[in-house]
Structure 1
C-alpha cells in the first residue's frame, strides 16, 4: 500500500540557512544548542527538540513553516512538525 506524500512538502523552497553556524535565537541569547534544523520555507535555523529551548519547533508553530531538515552530513530526511513524522 503506497502512502500519500506529506501535504506540507509544498511549503519547501530553495533557501539558504540564515545562520549556518548555529541556532539564530541561541546565538542571540548565548544559549547552548544540540543539532540544527533549518526551516525549508524561509531558511531560519533553529535547534532541535533535544536542545534546551527547542527553537526549531517554536519557529515551526509560530510561523507555520512546518518542514525542516538536519544539517548533519549524510542525513537527508525531512521532518514535519504538524504530523510529527518524517516527510
Structure 2
C-alpha cells in the first residue's frame, strides 16, 4: 500500500481492451497505479486481471460501479475498503 495514490480512471467509455477488440464487459475496474480501465473477472476478457499480471506494480484496482467504494489487490487476493 506504500506509495498508493488516487489516480483518476482513464476517460474511456468502457474497458479499454474490449473497446479495441469489439468485445463486451460485465463490470469495470480502474488501476490505481495508472488509471487503466479494464473489465472484471466475470467478463470474457478479464482485462483488469490481465493488466495487473503483466504490469509490475499495478496490482490494485478499484471498482467503477456506481455506489461501490472498494478495491481489489490481485497479488494478495484481498478486498480493500474504502478504496
TM range (shorter): 0.7 to 0.9
> 4+ residue stretches of structure 1 with deviation over 4 A?
none
Tell me which of the two structures has the higher relative contact order, counting C-alpha pairs closer than 8 angstroms and 6 or more residues apart.
1
The match for 2:67 is 74
The match for 1:19 is 11
TM-score w.r.t. the length of structure 1 is: 0.83
Where do 5+ consecutive residues of structure 1 fail to align? 1-8
SS in 2 for 1:69: strand
TM-score w.r.t. the length of structure 2 is: 0.87
Superposed CA RMSD: 1.3
How far off is 1:38 after superposition? 0.3
Structure with the largest fraction of helix:
1
Query: Is the counterpart of residue 32 in structure 1 residue 15 in structure 2?
Result: no
Give the total of aligned pairs. Answer: 79
